[in-house]
Amino acid sequence: MTTTQAALRTLTAARVLVRERLAAAGIPNPLTNAERMLECLLDISRVELYLFRQQGLTESQQTQLDHWVQERVSGKPLQYLLGHTGFYGLDILVEKGVFIPRPETERLVEEVIRLVSESPVPSHPLRILDIGTGSGAIAVALAVNLSGAEVVATDVSEPALLLARKNATRNGIADRVHFALVDLFPATREAFDVIVSNPPYISSSTIPNLMPEVRDFEPHEALDGGPDGLNFHRRIIEGAKALLTPGGLVALEVGEGQAEMVAAIMQKTGYRDHRIEKDLCEVGRVVIARKGGHG
């Protein structure tokens, strides 16, 4: 321990040492992981990490950092260690047992915001349903960016809903986001202008092949989408018809290779104007359609 502690004396030394330990353990992006740990440990920004590079760590900070490195080496996702992550420019709390929001999902949020902003303004506050809200990332990002919108967010996981509520409060929109512990749809049959979801979409048989970091640490009920991964998409597309206002939007995230199938299901179910939006890796990631009627 003496050598470790001596080497951890400055931020620069800590950055190098942590990166080396993570790299040696085969952890991807070791430098980014090391820098995120230090930023979080000292509650400083990336720029400050460089500005204060000669600053020393205290003994308790070194102990905390060592603990994080050990946990990270054991495969625990960085976001669970640090307890929060960035999503659509917001700070979102995460914890083990609740799905970590992914950058791909920002595409879904971005597209919904764009389409809603282009649509005729409804005569009532915009009403959005976020199904399988997890940490609340989508619901919170939409409420923050669509002022006045009312959001209902559902999940079957009580820990997820507790965390999502905290995220709504921290981001100042708790009065416009309502949470319900239900299977997909809220019990009240109110209408929604937008139904959005990033549901579980991994096919059951491929779960064992997922990266251990995902398979062994994230909740399975957030991942498993049934035999072809599309169980939830089918149920949401079918059920959303009865809840959407005429011209209302259904917007779903999909896994790689699923977009065309989901678009076909939407078309067959009677939706119109379906479109597929790609993510930064050119993977069809978001499928959106409108319920028939005006709009």
Residues annotated as part of the active site? 99, 198-199
The site map against ligand SAH for 69-108 (x = CB under 6 A) is ------------------------------x-x---x---
- Choosing from 5, 83, 103, 156, the residue that interacts with ligand SAH (CB under 6 A) is 156
Backbone angles phi, psi at 218, to 5 degrees: -100, 150
Answer whether 143's CB lies under 8 Å from 196's CB: no
- Give me the least distance between CB of 195 and ligand SAH, in Å please: 12
- Give me the least distance between CB of 126 and ligand SAH, in Å please: 19
Distance CA 23, CA 72 (A): 11
Report the residue number, 239 or 292, with the smaller CB distance to ligand SAH: 239
Distance CA 108, CA 137 (A): 11
* Residue 160 interacting with ligand SAH (CB under 6 A): yes
| Sequence-distant (≥ 6) Cβ neighbours of residue 237 within 8 angstroms | 250, 252, 262, 265, 266, 269, 271
- Choosing from 79, 133, 167, 258, the residue that interacts with ligand SAH (CB under 6 A) is 133
- Give me the least distance between CB of 287 and ligand SAH, in Å please: 15
Report the residue number, 8 or 152, with the smaller CB distance to ligand SAH: 152
Answer whether 94's CB lies under 8 Å from 101's CB: yes
Count the site residues for ligand SAH by CB under 6 A.
Answer: 22
Report the residue number, 21 or 285, with the smaller CB distance to ligand SAH: 285
Tell me which H or E stretch contains 39. helix 30-42
Answer whether 270's CB lies under 8 Å from 292's CB: yes
